[in-house]
Amino acid sequence: MPRQLHLNAFLMNTGHHEASWRLPESDPYAHVSLAHYVNLARVAERGTFDSLFLADGPQLWNNLAQRPAGALEPLTLLTALATATEHIGLIATASTSYNSPYNLARKFASLDIISGGRAGWNIVTTAGAEAARNFGLDAEPAHAERYARAAEFLDVALKLWDSWEDDAIVADKAAGVWGDDAKIHPPRHAGTYFSVQGALNVPRTPQGYPLLVQAGSSEDGKGFAARYAEAVFTAQQTIEDARAFYADLKARTAAAGRDPEHIKVLPGIVPVIGSTEAEARAAEQVLEDHIVHTHGVGRLESLLQLPSGTLELDSELPSDLPPEDAIEGAKSRYTLVVELARRERLTVRQLIGRLGGGRGHLTFAGTPEQVADAIETWFTQGAADGFNIMPPVLPSGLDAFVDHVVPILRARGLLRTEYGPRRTLRERYGLPRPANQYVSTPATGTPALV
């Protein structure tokens, strides 16, 4: 069997294109519709995707005038989807900057148990002052500090998830002994950002802990990924950049003493699918025609950390933008956008059009064959272990992908044709169940909760 492609469905209300909600087919209340998400999850499961993914930030991301704002909180929504699906992984974004390790570790452990081992955590540090101001801070913590806190957060969370050995439950009714307290290991952690004494109040879960996913591509972000991440979402505009990123991340992971096979790299792709190339381009044009460009200016100024009113729609970006080093927000996205604009000499209006589809992710318009070819090329040429599929319009874009691209990928032997027996998310991604850091010789036999 050839190496298998991993597919993740990145779900976002009416789709990733910012104007998608304006299409006649779109439900403007999709962002709070359980039925909408249940349908999407089932379509993705029909396409034998590895997982679903929801982005998140603890703030109202944009003005209401512009496009759908607000969302169901990802862990909550994915828990509801756990009971509506059987096989697919459930990856929720949650911030290390604005959560407590004890609370978050419990929630992911609970979801992992409820879903039978299908939980994943997209670990983000959350850029921006708006989120900070919802949590008692005046300003965004510095980028390096956010990542330092993230690393300590992970250390604590891993201790909590390992705080029960797999076989801590004895269940000896006759003797009146339910569990073995010697198999409980309170973290007793006292660090720079956190002090957490006690064991988790959830047993060790089917996966041990959720699949750890990471999505920041700055230097610090890549360092963090090499140390902790098992899957990485990334935005890449060209195959050259993607190959360089892929090789770099695998090398860093090896340098961190880990098996580079144990980190899966998943670039995002926004597939605009038509039965002919012309049809795909026309669909792209319809979406672009629905963009309100003036709305995009403010968002671009905020990403580039420019004062409001700096950018002009029909000019290029200013030539004196600061280097990535000077950016405290989303560093790698900043560089990607600036390089895209410079490389193609785009005006602000054109840049907004280009970002409208996927906020920096690669938009690829074509026939199902062409989309499958692009995926196969990146996959076989060292640029990807799989893809983050980001349909521009939902649900139709996911339907189109599953109905027309998936069969081609299957015919080429790149994608499973069925799920087979139930597996954990980590098993789907070809990753081992992590050992418990407190156990030198793992228990024999199957752990009770697996």
Ligand X SMILES: Cc1cc2nc3c(=O)[nH]c(=O)nc-3n(C[C@H](O)[C@H](O)[C@H](O)COP(=O)(O)O)c2cc1C
Q: Of ligand X, a copy of itself, none, which one sits near residue 21, judging by CB under 5 to 8 A according to partner kind? A: a copy of itself
CB of 84 to a copy of itself, least distance (A): 6
Residue with Cβ nearer ligand X (13 or 126): 126
Q: Identity (one letter) of the amino acid at 311?
A: L
Q: At what angle do helices 348-358 and 277-289 cross, to 10 degrees?
A: 110
If one counts every other C-beta atom within 10 angstroms of the C-beta of residue 337, the result is: 24
For CA atoms 430, 259, 11, 277, give the dihedral sign. Answer: negative
Burial class (CB in 10 A: 0-12, 13-18, 19+), 298: middle
Contact call for residue 268 and ligand X (CB under 6 A): yes
Q: How far is the CB of 78 from a copy of itself (least distance, A)?
A: 9
Residue 226 sits in the site that holds ligand X (CB under 6 A): no
Residue with smaller CB distance to a copy of itself, 78 or 338: 78
Cβ 348 to ligand X, closest distance in Å? 21
Helical axes 239-255 vs 219-228, angle rounded to 10°: 50
422 touches 87 (CB < 8 A): yes
Does residue 221 bind ligand X (CB under 6 A)? yes
Angstrom distances, CA of residue 172 to CA of 108, 175, 176, 178, 179: 28, 6, 6, 6, 8
The interface partner of residue 200, options being ligand X, a copy of itself, none and the CB cut-off 5 to 8 Å by kind, is: a copy of itself
**Binding test (CB under 6 A) with ligand X, winner from 14, 207, 217, 424:** 217
Which CA distances in Å does 436 have to 161, 190, 205, 209, 443?
Answer: 9, 20, 11, 10, 10
Nearer to ligand X, 146 or 183 (CB): 146
DSSP characters over 142-194: PHHHHHHHHHHHHHHHHHHHTSB-TT-EEEETTTTEEE-GGGB----EE-SS-
Secondary structure class of 267 (helix, strand, coil) = strand
Using CB under 6 A as the binding rule, the residues of this chain from 363 to 392 that contact ligand X are 388
- Complex with a copy of itself: residue 23 or 282, whichever CB lies closer: 23
Q: Which is nearer to ligand X, 217 or 436 (CB)?
A: 217
Choices 156-164, 186-194, 328-336, 370-378; region in contact with ligand X by CB under 6 A: 328-336
**Residue 306 contacts which entry, ligand X, a copy of itself, none (Cβ below 5-8 A, type-dependent):** none
For a copy of itself, the closer CB: 17 or 250: 17
Distance CA 45, CA 176 (A): 44
Q: Which is nearer to ligand X, 205 or 388 (CB)?
A: 388
Q: Which is nearer to a copy of itself, 1 or 171 (CB)?
A: 171
Phi then psi for residue 28, to 5 deg, are -70, -10
Contact 7, 88 (CB under 8 A): no
Q: Choose one: 35-43, 159-167, 230-238, 308-316; the region binding ligand X (CB under 6 A).
A: 230-238
Scanning 38-46, 185-193, 196-204, 327-335 for contacts with ligand X by CB under 6 A, the matching segment is 327-335
Q: How far apart are CA 333 and CA 305, in angstroms?
A: 12
Q: Which does 392 bind (CB under 5 to 8 A by kind): ligand X, a copy of itself, none?
A: none
Task: Using CB under 6 A, pick the residue from 105, 127, 158, 371 that binds ligand X.
Answer: 127
Q: 159 or 334: whose CB is closer to ligand X?
A: 334
Size of the chain, expressed as the number of residues it contains = 450
CB atoms within 10 A of CB 438: 14
Selected from 216, 353, 357, 391, the binder of ligand X by CB under 6 A is 216
User: For residues 106 and 281, which CB has a smaller minimum distance to a copy of itself in the complex?
Assistant: 106
CB of 159 to a copy of itself, least distance (A): 12
How far lies 183's CA from each of 197, 203, 387, in Å? 16, 11, 40
For residue 112, the minimal CB distance to a copy of itself (Å) is 10
Q: Where are the beta strands (DSSP E) in 231-331?
A: 231-234, 264-273
Name the one range near ligand X by CB under 6 A: 16-24, 84-92, 174-182, 232-240: 232-240
* Residue of 124, 132, 287, 371 interacting with ligand X (CB under 6 A): 124
Shortest gap between Cβ of 32 and ligand X (angstroms)? 18
The site partner of 55 among a copy of itself, ligand X, none (C-beta below 5 to 8 Å per kind) is ligand X
Cβ 4 vs Cβ 363: under 8 Å? no
| Count of residues touching ligand X (by CB under 6 A) | 23
- Among residues 298, 79, 101, 325, the alpha carbon closest in space to that of 194 is found at 101
CA 210 – CA 257 distance, rounded (Å): 21
Q: Which two tokens stand for residue 238?
A: 């060209």
CB of 30 to a copy of itself, least distance (A): 11
Which of the listed partners (ligand X, a copy of itself, none) does 61 bind, with a CB threshold of 5 to 8 Å by partner kind? a copy of itself
**Would you tell me which residues interact with ligand X (CB under 6 A)?**
55-57, 93, 124-127, 215-218, 220-221, 233-235, 268, 330-333, 388
